[in-house]
Amino acid sequence: MIRLSVNINKIATLRNARGGNLPDVQQITVDCERFGAQGITVHPRPDERHIRYKDVELLRPLITTEFNIEGNPIPKFIDLVLKYKPDQVTLVPDDPGQLTSDHGWNTKKHKTFLTEVISRFKEAGIRTSIFVDPDLEMIEHSIFTGTDRIELYTEGYAAGFKTDPLKTIEPFVEAAAKARETGLEINAGHDLNLENLHFFVQNIPWIKEVSIGHALIADALYYGLQNTIQLYLRVLRIE
């Protein structure tokens, strides 16, 4: 079964908007796992507008499933990951003022940099993943960085799903097939939701993990967190 990692950034955004500790990010993390999530994802940014670096310290001993820290590998981020040693680190080429992730790595241009960073994480026993667009050239160059996985940036799929799902999924299937041929494992994330997720994983059933935050938390406003997580897990079952 494809694993569901719940990105809790939006919970932290809501907490930070009012100050204090409501909602309680630590408690919700524990509850997400109790409700069936097979992983927790956080994406600390330098301005700490949602997940704070302190949150990582507090969450690390609580998480009993799989902990994934994603972000731009600036020195502060690298130090954080090496200190708390998650199960997986996902490298994302965020700009400092970026609202949300909106592109994957140019693995050809940044091959040397990525190779050096990934080597440090792998020496620490941390599985690595690179955020990439469904571009065959970028996937080919990902191999040479030494990464264990790629994470397909799925915003393009989500944007075109309602109009022409078959055409929209095609480059993602090709990219995922290329990655599998080269021995890379595959994650996926960004704008996946209850409407478009099943078609995506049905066409790429060898994906290891999806990371979902914004849509899942939005759905929880209507269905409740426990029910929402169960709905996503049900969608991920490939029959």
Q: What is the pLDDT of residues 32-88, one digit of tens each?
A: 999 999 999 999 998 999 999 999 999 999 999 999 999 999 999 999 999 999 999
The arithmetic mean of pLDDT across residues 198-227, rounded, is 97
From 70, 141, 151, 209, active-site residue: 70
159-182: average pLDDT: 97
Let me know if 110 is a catalytic residue.
Answer: no
- The number of folded domains in the chain is 1
What confidence score (pLDDT) does residue 226 get?
Answer: 98
What average pLDDT does range 140-147 have in this prediction?
A: 96
In the predicted model, is pLDDT for residue 224 greater than 80? yes
Is 70 annotated as catalytic? yes
Higher pLDDT, 238 or 42: 42
Q: What is the pLDDT of residue 94?
A: 76
> For residue 169, what are the contacts with CB-CB under 8 A and spacing of at least 6?
157, 199, 200, 203
| Residue span of the structural domain in which 118 resides | 3-236
Q: Check 33, 43, 151, 209 and give the catalytic one.
A: 43
Say if residue 203's pLDDT is above 90: yes
Say how far residue 98 (Cα) sits from the centre of its chain.
16
| Cβ neighbourhood burial of 146 (10 Å; 0-12, 13-18, 19+) | middle
Q: Whole-angstrom Cα distance, residue 20 to residue 4?
A: 29
pLDDT at 101 over 60: no
Active site residue 137: no
CATH code, domain with 82: 3.20.20.70
Give the mean model confidence (pLDDT) for residues 92-101.
65
